[in-house]
Amino acid sequence: MTHEFKDIVEAYLKAKDQDIKAVLATVVDLNGSSYRKPGVRMLILENGQMIGAVSGGCVEKDIERKAQSVFKDKQPIMMTYDGRFRLGCEGVLYILLEEFSPTKECIQLFKTIISDRNDFKICSNYIKDEGYFPGLGSYLVLRNNRYWISGKTGSPLKSGDDLSLFEQKMPACFKLVIFGSEHDAVQLCQFAALNGWDVTIVAGPLESKTIANFPGARAFYTASLDALELKKIDDETAIMLMSHNFANDLKFLMELKDTSPAYIGLLGPSHRKEKLLSQLIEYCPEISENYVDQIHGPAGLNIGAETPQEIAISILSEILTVIRKKNPIRLKEKKGSIHA
């Protein structure tokens, strides 16, 4: 959800430049089932624009109406939305609405944390009731410092208060590094960006393409990642090798051998993967087993993909199953909550 909050901050900064006020809506608790879970957020601007969503579209209009009082008097409020008689989800949402106006210091530190791929936390004081209550509000915990989202100052919730505390750890934005610049890489880049992932492209040394050829990409390199970017490959990063060149893919695997990504995917048939691994181990006999275990090839799930777009969906689906530690099955065969 980090990328969603990042989008909210970026939208707020644009609105602030136009002197447009903003209200943040956060689902802080839930009774029953819902399309989305506690921790989802949306930003409501005074001009009626909404960034993000907290449901499939059923609750947002009610939130916008409730937000008008926050625009007027800047007092945070709680609202409840009972979907048991209106939605198929049959859940009761508890939503905190508050002014969104973090300080300049908070915004600057937040940007640094996002760039450095550090974790942070968002905490919300709330109560499962309607209306205004003293102490309501959210704050960011950035490098052990607390910053109220509304820009106010005060102490966080203490033990024994009537309010409850919702805490959410926010990891670094999930990152996808694509080694390759052919048409299939463009499609994968677009689909991953739509999913909110931070996409980096590494093109071959003889390619004439630029970042403009990859809608949604945030970074573009020719031939190789620099040392700084290699250090930013962590367990919230997936690697996809799709250069269509055996020598280049082997070179990239060797360059990446000291990193610890969550996933490494190889394009092409199984025998190509075996040949790559054989030569990788021959050139790098001390390579760790953990690194080799993260290599998946052929990349993707068996969904009958044929077009570059379908192949991209297949690859993204496998990455999600790996990082979420899920065994892909049809939802109609799943017991219990369908998206848990």
Give the domain-ending residue among 142, 170, 198.
170
Q: Assign 40 a pLDDT band (cuts: 50, 70, 90).
A: very high
pLDDT tens figures, 202-215? 987 777 888 999 99
Q: Flag whether 106 is in a domain.
A: yes
Report the alpha-carbon angle 40-37-28, nearest 5. Answer: 65
| Domain count for the chain | 2
148 with 264, same domain: the answer is: no
Q: Are 70 and 23 in contact (CB under 8 A)?
A: yes
pLDDT tens figures, 274-327? 999 999 999 999 998 889 988 999 999 999 999 999 999 999 999 999 999 988
CATH of residue 222's domain is 3.40.50.720
110 with 191, same domain: the answer is: no
150 with 279, same domain: the answer is: no
Q: Flag whether 334 is in a domain.
A: no
Report the alpha-carbon angle 200-204-209, nearest 5. Answer: 70
95 with 234, same domain: the answer is: no
Average pLDDT rounded to a whole number, residues 63-74: 92
DSSP 272-337: HHHHHHHHHHHH-TT--HHHHHTEESS-S--S---SHHHHHHHHHHHHHHHHTT-----GGG--S-
DSSP-assigned beta bridge partners for residue 121: 141, 169
Q: Assign 94 a pLDDT band (cuts: 50, 70, 90).
A: very high
Average pLDDT rounded to a whole number, residues 156-169: 74
Q: Assign 85 a pLDDT band (cuts: 50, 70, 90).
A: low
Neighbours of 327 (CB within 10 A): 5
21 with 98, same domain: the answer is: yes
Q: Flag whether 333 is in a domain.
A: no
Q: Flag whether 340 is in a domain.
A: no
Q: Flag whether 89 is in a domain.
A: yes
CA-to-CA distance for 97 and 79, rounded, in angstroms? 8
163 with 184, same domain: the answer is: no
Q: Flag whether 307 is in a domain.
A: yes
Q: Are 19 and 12 in contact (CB under 8 A)?
A: no
Q: Flag whether 329 is in a domain.
A: no
131 with 260, same domain: the answer is: no
pLDDT tens figures, 189-202? 999 999 999 999 99
What pLDDT, on the 0 to 100 scale, is given for residue 83?
66
Average pLDDT rounded to a whole number, residues 97-105: 95
150 with 190, same domain: the answer is: no
165 with 195, same domain: the answer is: no
Give Cα 95 to chain centroid, integer Å: 21
For the chain, list the strands marked E by DSSP: 22-31, 41-45, 50-52, 77-82, 92-99, 120-126, 137-142, 145-148, 164-170, 175-179, 198-203, 217-222, 237-241, 263-266, 295-296
126 with 210, same domain: the answer is: no
192 with 44, same domain: the answer is: no
154 with 180, same domain: the answer is: no
Q: Are 67 and 44 in contact (CB under 8 A)?
A: yes
Give the domain-ending residue among 144, 170, 196.
170
- Residue 237 belongs to what domain range? 175-323
What pLDDT, on the 0 to 100 scale, is given for residue 107?
96
Q: Flag whether 41 is in a domain.
A: yes
